[in-house]
């Protein structure tokens, strides 16, 4: 099969022929029709993820069709249209036993712990636990954003953030996950303040439901968010992952507000103002993907048109362009979601 491979961190990935995957006994091989290009892929390519072993195929947001299954798989067969969470569970550990596959003790992450979906085919273990059926009305390009950015944002806003209609929400960093969070929060009846440094991105956030936008390049984001929301937001998300955006997100909260950290932070991270956390009874929460069993409510909102993940897709490219597009992520801001589509040559 064809796959995008890099042999050293920071080296331009190349499209080449590699061995076809075979399904694990409890797993499946998926024919990849579309896969998202995510900043997490860029972090992995730069060597920021200790789980990656070289040579490596990136990619963790995918939509496609089951090509083959292992002998232990009971719930799936060839021909099923599916996606998967970017964090796949083992199904057996204490976390999985309580339905928390997103923090599985032995998690499988395509594109990180194993070869990923910048390829014509990808192998996914524990298929009965991790595969998610796609509705026919949802095309592959839109579905490719669900496994990481959209599903991550959905759980961060609705489950971890416990959003209630009418609350104020700030989203710091409006890349793919941030724009997803803006759309989801607005659809749930929140009043959303979007914060970013790029005007085109902020206009996308307004299109997806933000009632206020803040250019943190020219304005103090904390003062602007607190002013727009009448004294601070109920829920604030750092969807980028930097010491500055994390600190601004916490400082944007009103008393008893909730901060959800979604973006990955560099080693060390920010100094959290614990005196304010205590005095104002703030909540500091993490959010790490979403388990496969939790997808149906999100898919139902997509089916009835309240959520439109396809609107987030601003660029489509082929596998031939994927390596250069991955490298570009460190040089230019990403606006919306880039999706890679494949042309298959057979397994």
The domain of 86 spans 2-148+290-341
Handedness of CA 153, 154, 155, 157 (dihedral sign): positive
The answer to whether residues 275 and 234 belong to one domain is yes
The answer to whether residues 34 and 168 belong to one domain is no
SS3 content of the chain, % helix, strand, coil (to 5): 30, 25, 45
The answer to whether residues 36 and 118 belong to one domain is yes
Give the DSSP letter of residue 10. T
The answer to whether residues 80 and 166 belong to one domain is no
The answer to whether residues 172 and 303 belong to one domain is no
pLDDT computed for residue 333 by the predictor = 65
The answer to whether residues 198 and 277 belong to one domain is yes
For residue 57, give both structure tokens: 């195929």
Provide the H-helix boundaries in the chain. Answer: 39-45, 94-97, 127-130, 140-143, 151-154, 176-187, 199-207, 221-228, 243-251, 274-279, 295-303, 319-328
The answer to whether residues 17 and 139 belong to one domain is yes
DSSP string, 192-226: EEEEES-HHHHHHHHHTT-SEEEETTTS-HHHHHH
The answer to whether residues 282 and 297 belong to one domain is no
pLDDT computed for residue 346 by the predictor = 45
CB 13 within 8 A of CB 58: yes
The answer to whether residues 321 and 257 belong to one domain is no
DSSP string, 260-297: EE-SPPPTT-----HHHHHHTT-EEEE-----GGGHHH
d(CA 87, CA 97): 15
Instruction: Reply yes or no on whether the pLDDT at 39 is more than 90.
Output: no
Final residue belonging to a domain, choices 246, 271, 286:
286
pLDDT computed for residue 331 by the predictor = 81
pLDDT tens digits, 203-260: 999 999 999 999 999 999 999 999 999 999 999 999 999 999 999 999 999 999 999 9
Rg of the chain (C-alpha set) = 20
C-alpha of 124 from chain center: 18
**Count of domains observed in the chain:** 2
Q: What is the CATH number of the domain that holds 122?
A: 3.90.180.10
Residue written as token pair 């947001």 = 61
The answer to whether residues 57 and 116 belong to one domain is yes
CB 53 within 8 A of CB 343: no
Could you tell me the pLDDT band of residue 344, with boundaries at 50, 70 and 90? low
pLDDT tens digits, 149-175: 999 999 999 999 999 999 999 999 999
Q: What is the CATH number of the domain that holds 192?
A: 3.40.50.720
The string over 197-211, giving b where at least 16 C-beta atoms fall within 10 Å of a residue's C-beta and e elsewhere, is: bbeebbebbeebbbe
Instruction: Reply yes or no on whether the pLDDT at 85 is more than 60.
Output: yes
The answer to whether residues 238 and 315 belong to one domain is no
């Amino acid at each position: 099969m064809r796959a995008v491979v890099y042999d050293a961190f920071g080296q331009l990935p190349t499209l080449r022929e590699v061995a076809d995957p075979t399904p694990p006994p409890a797993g499946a091989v998926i024919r990849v029709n579309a896969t998202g290009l995510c900043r997490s892929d860029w972090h992995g390519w730069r060597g920021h993820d200790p789980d990656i072993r070289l040579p490596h195929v990136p990619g963790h947001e995918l939509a496609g069709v089951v090509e083959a299954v292992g002998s232990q798989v009971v719930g799936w067969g060839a021909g099923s249209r599916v996606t998967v969470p970017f964090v796949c569970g083992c199904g057996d550990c204490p976390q999985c036993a309580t339905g928390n596959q997103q923090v599985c003790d032995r998690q499988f992450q395509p594109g990180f712990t194993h070869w990923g979906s910048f390829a014509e085919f990808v192998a996914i273990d524990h298929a009965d636990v991790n595969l998610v059926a796609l509705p026919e009305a949802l095309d592959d390009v839109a579905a490719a954003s669900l496994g990481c950015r959209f599903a991550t944002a959905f759980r961060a806003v609705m489950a971890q953030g416990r959003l209630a209609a009418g609350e104020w929400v700030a989203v710091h960093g409006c890349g793919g996950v941030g724009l997803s969070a803006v759309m989801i929060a607005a659809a749930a009846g929140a009043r959303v303040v979007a914060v970013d440094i790029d005007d085109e991105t902020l206009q996308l956030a307004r299109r997806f439901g933000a009632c206020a936008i803040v250019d943190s390049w020219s304005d103090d984001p904390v003062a602007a968010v607190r002013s727009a929301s009448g004294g601070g937001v109920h829920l604030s998300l750092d969807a980028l992952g930097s010491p500055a955006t994390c600190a601004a997100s916490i400082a944007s909260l009103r008393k008893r507000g909730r901060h959800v950290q979604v973006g990955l932070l560099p080693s060390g991270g920010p100094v959290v103002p614990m005196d304010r956390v205590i005095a104002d009874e703030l909540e500091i929460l993490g959010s790490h993907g979403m388990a496969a069993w939790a997808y149906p409510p999100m898919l139902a909102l997509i089916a009835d048109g309240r959520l439109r993940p396809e609107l987030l897709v601003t660029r489509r490219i082929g596998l031939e362009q994927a390596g250069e597009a991955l490298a570009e992520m460190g040089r230019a801001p990403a606006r919306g979601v880039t999706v890679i589509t494949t042309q298959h040559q057979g397994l």
